[in-house]
Structure 1
Amino acid sequence: MKKIGLIVLGLTSQIIFAQANRFIYQVTMKTDSTNRSEIKTENAYLDVTPEKSIFYGEKRLQRDSLFTRMRQTNGGSFDRTQMQNLRSHIDFTIEKDFKTGKNTYHSRIARDQYSYDEDRTMEWKILPETAEIGDYKTQKAQTNFAGRTWFAWFTTDVPFQDGPYKFSGLPGLIVKVEDSKGDYSFDLKETKKIGALTNLSQGGNIVKVKRKDYEKQEALFRKDPASFMQTSMRGGSGISAPQSRGGSMRTPDPAQRKQMEDRMKEEMKKNNNPIELK
């Protein structure tokens, strides 16, 4: 593993011949607009080949690994305490197909897996400002996307026109990108070679929808997560009768259900500053 401030010489040739490359970003987030002093930090991975890339949270990979170990050793039973420690604000994956230009977003709402193809393009304005970030020579660019103004620093030292989250389309790898309000930031910290793109488990059927329909479902969930889950379990989502994770439906006892509902309401109350505002 290489730190960003260390060896960059020869990275380009290494990337070209490697099976896949992992760029590790530190993601900082202010998810509660009423408490801007609270900053959440997580790592996220951008795994890239010449054909495609996938962006996802580090905790997602750790959860998948934990699920696998528990299935093998505990007969399918799960330690809820361990799972709670792996809860993440990067609970989505984004796949980019460089040949088709398709950018696919995957996420879960309540019990159900959804995906949509991003239908908005990023129009970048490359600015004259340059900066050294670690050992990378970078140039600044600006775009307006999903209700925010974003500033990115990209390097042509790395031959991938890609970046974290949905960001791509600049003539090189995005080393850093942040919004103008300072709510969200993605900073490249490490790079490493890996054998192949990670195969993340989806945990059930995926409902393919249009972006606007996904946003409507997400808005309903944020407004009243408990009622949304009850409707979802009855198959009344309005899009498709959803499938539970793992294919079976288990109803928690009243005490567990009340605890879950209270936790979801509190989370929705604090997560009022999403990365996409519109």
Structure 2
Amino acid sequence: MPYGPYKFNGLPGLIMELYDTRKDYYFNVIKSEKIPDDYKRHSLNNYIPRAIPVTQKDLNRLRLDLYSNPFKYAFNGALTIPEGKKLLLDDGTVLSKEQLKPAEANERKKLKSFNNPIELDKAVKYP
């Protein structure tokens, strides 16, 4: 049974528990069951038809670009915030257009705090 989570699939045996030294990532088998032969598997291609492949180098460049200007799309006109309306961030923060520039430092701090990939060599080297 060469099954395991993430990149650990294909190792000899069944991986029941796996974690890194800091336990930032922790995998634990909760349930094991036989999947029917006619089980329909889903591919990301079905859900993201316009996705384009990118290299790790390109992805890191895009992340650095976002870090240097977190609200670039609001400032360059690609995203418009109508007068009197506000922008809702992923964390629930609500900002008016005037509040975006002062909020950039906090966004950079959040980007750095989430820079913890399972493959440490792929972490972005933020300034």
TM class by shorter chain equals 0.5 to 0.7
2:66 match: secondary structure: helix
Partners of 2:77 and 2:50 in 1: how far apart? 14
Q: TM-score, normalised by structure 2?
A: 0.55
Bigger strand fraction: 1
1:172 match: secondary structure: coil
- Answering whether residue 52 of structure 2 is matched by residue 218 of structure 1, we say no
Out of 40, 43, 53, the residue aligned to residue 196 of structure 1 is: 40
Q: TM-score, normalised by structure 1?
A: 0.29
Corresponding residue of 1:271: 114
1:206 match: secondary structure: coil
Which AA in structure 1 matches 2:40?
A
1:186 match: secondary structure: strand
Corresponding residue of 1:100: none
Bigger helix fraction: 2
Which stretches in structure 2 are left out of the alignment for 5+ residues? 89-93, 122-127
- Answering whether residue 25 of structure 2 is matched by residue 180 of structure 1, we say no
Q: Per-residue deviation at 1:179?
A: 0.9
- Answering whether residue 80 of structure 2 is matched by residue 251 of structure 1, we say yes
Name which structure has the greater RCO, CA cutoff 8 Å, separation 6+: 1
Which stretches in structure 1 are left out of the alignment for 5+ residues? 1-158, 235-249
Q: 1:251 to 1:172 in 2, by over 3 A?
A: farther
Q: Per-residue deviation at 1:269?
A: 5.0
Partners of 2:5 and 2:76 in 1: how far apart? 31
Number of aligned residues: 102
Aligned-residue Cα RMSD (Å) equals 3.6
CA contact (8 A) 2:74 2:80 kept: no
Corresponding residue of 1:208: 53
Partners of 1:230 and 1:170 in 2: how far apart? 46
CA contact (8 A) 2:74 2:81 kept: no
